[in-house]
Structure 1
Amino acid sequence: MRPPVKDRAHQPESERQKTGSTERGTGLEVTDLAFRIEYRDAEANEDLASVFGVPVGTRLLERIDRTNSVDEGAPFALVHSYVVHEIVAGNPDLLNAANEPWPRGAQNQLHTVGIELDRIEARITACLLTVEEAEELGIKRGVSVFLLRKNSRDIDDRVVEVSDVTLSGDRTEFVFTTPLKRW
């Protein structure tokens, strides 16, 4: 049995390298994936500053992920995730895209600088895609996309990571399960 996702941050690196959220979501193995991840400096705009609770212009680390199946050229999603630079600067490995894909992703990255996640809030909306998004996702114009914003909060209720994910509406399925208390 696989440990809960959060607990995987404590697993040895050899175990964490076997599978991550992309593998779980796609059913593919790590060897079936091509990771294209870029890091760059960014500044908090009004939206991100509000979410993080920091001043506009605060230095952020932006991570741009375009992971795809080795059998396809188009990425599964267009992902832009952000962390406050000052928070992750304590571990220089977190500032280097050459260390990607990071075994067990953002939760383990944040754990290396003493952050424990409490929850991840996800909000999904839909819209038509832009010409650029259509080209990058390899889909026809006119197909709608899902916009997923994930806010990761630590145990002090502070937003420590924001991810904006664009998913193609013609090849994305969301399944929600609500466990109900037994009588």
Structure 2
Amino acid sequence: MSKEVRSPRAPAVRDNARHQWEKDRARQPRPTRAATGATEHDTGLAPDDLVFFARYRRTEATRDLADAFGVPEGTALLERRYRTRCGDDPAPFSLVTSYVPYDLVAANPDLLDESKEPWPGGTQHQLRTVGVEVDRVEERVTARPPTPEEARELRLPPDTAVILLRKTSYDTDDRVVDVSHLVLPGDRTELVFTTHLERW
């Protein structure tokens, strides 16, 4: 019996400098924004190499999300699930679930329409269309064994951990405008944190 030979998977390098890159890009004309996205930035792949999937639904804030957004439990949120993969690999780069305040994004009906994805310029440009400027992004990173569903969807080898990244975006009024949960495969994700220090 022949053993399946799998080509090496494209690794993803996630550098926190990407957030400034995304913010700078949010003000560019549409052709510039459409030419490349965050996944291409992290992987070095071209847009034609990628398969993208998005699913939206209206949901209510759980206690955890209500605390994060500073809103009452049950407040309406827009939940957005994203999966992006290389065309020749069935496994996505990560499992992303993003939450934004429903009433905030409803000011632009296009932001409620999953068929508009992938959105040129990503979330920062989406927020810009409703008058929001992201001021800072906080990321918290932990790790754990995957759930059976995560292991299956990410096609993880045995005994591979997942990296959990919780990204919280704040606007210039110190208001939380996006909370994203990312599940990253530990066998092909590298996190790089670059800290620029103010000069004396």
Does the alignment reach a TM-score above 0.5? yes
Match of 1:98 in 2: 115
- Residue 158 (structure 1) aligned with residue 175 (structure 2): yes
Q: CA deviation at 1:175?
A: 1.3
Q: Secondary structure at the match of 1:81?
A: strand
Listed one character per residue, the Cα deviations across residues 115-173 of structure 1 (whole Å, up to 9, x for unaligned) are 01101111100111000000010113431110000001000000000000000111111
Distance in 1, Cα, partners of 2:44 & 2:59: 33
- Residue 179 (structure 1) aligned with residue 196 (structure 2): yes
Distance in 1, Cα, partners of 2:21 & 2:55: 28
Distance in 2, Cα, partners of 1:141 & 1:86: 42
Distance in 2, Cα, partners of 1:68 & 1:5: 20
Match of 1:113 in 2: 130
Quick check: 1:78–1:165 contact (8 Å CA) kept in 2?
A: yes
Aligned 1:66-145 pairs, distance under 5 A: 66-145=83-162
1:41 to 35, 58, 73: 58
Amino acid at match of 1:148: L
Distance in 2, Cα, partners of 1:123 & 1:175: 13
Distance in 1, Cα, partners of 2:178 & 2:22: 16
Unaligned runs of 5+ in 1: none
- Residue 56 (structure 1) aligned with residue 77 (structure 2): no
Please give the root-mean-square deviation of Cα atoms over the aligned residues, in Å.
Answer: 1.3
Q: CA deviation at 1:181?
A: 4.7
**Structure number with higher relative contact order (C-alpha < 8 Å, ≥ 6 residues apart):** 2
Which one is further off, 60-69 or 134-143?
134-143
Quick check: 1:151–1:162 contact (8 Å CA) kept in 2?
A: yes
Q: Secondary structure at the match of 2:192?
A: coil
Quick check: 1:129–1:141 contact (8 Å CA) kept in 2?
A: no
Q: Secondary structure at the match of 1:135?
A: helix
1:170 to 155, 173, 187: 187
Unaligned runs of 5+ in 2: 1-19
Quick check: 1:131–1:141 contact (8 Å CA) kept in 2?
A: no
Match of 1:19 in 2: 36
Relative to the length of structure 1, the TM-score reads 0.95
Q: Secondary structure at the match of 1:75?
A: coil
Q: CA deviation at 1:182?
A: 5.3
Distance in 2, Cα, partners of 1:28 & 1:158: 34
Q: Secondary structure at the match of 1:73?
A: coil
Question: Number of residue pairs matched?
Answer: 181
Q: Aligned residues: percent identity? A: 57
Listed one character per residue, the Cα deviations across residues 15-44 of structure 1 (whole Å, up to 9, x for unaligned) are 100111111001111111100111011110
Q: Secondary structure at the match of 1:139?
A: coil
Relative to the length of structure 2, the TM-score reads 0.87
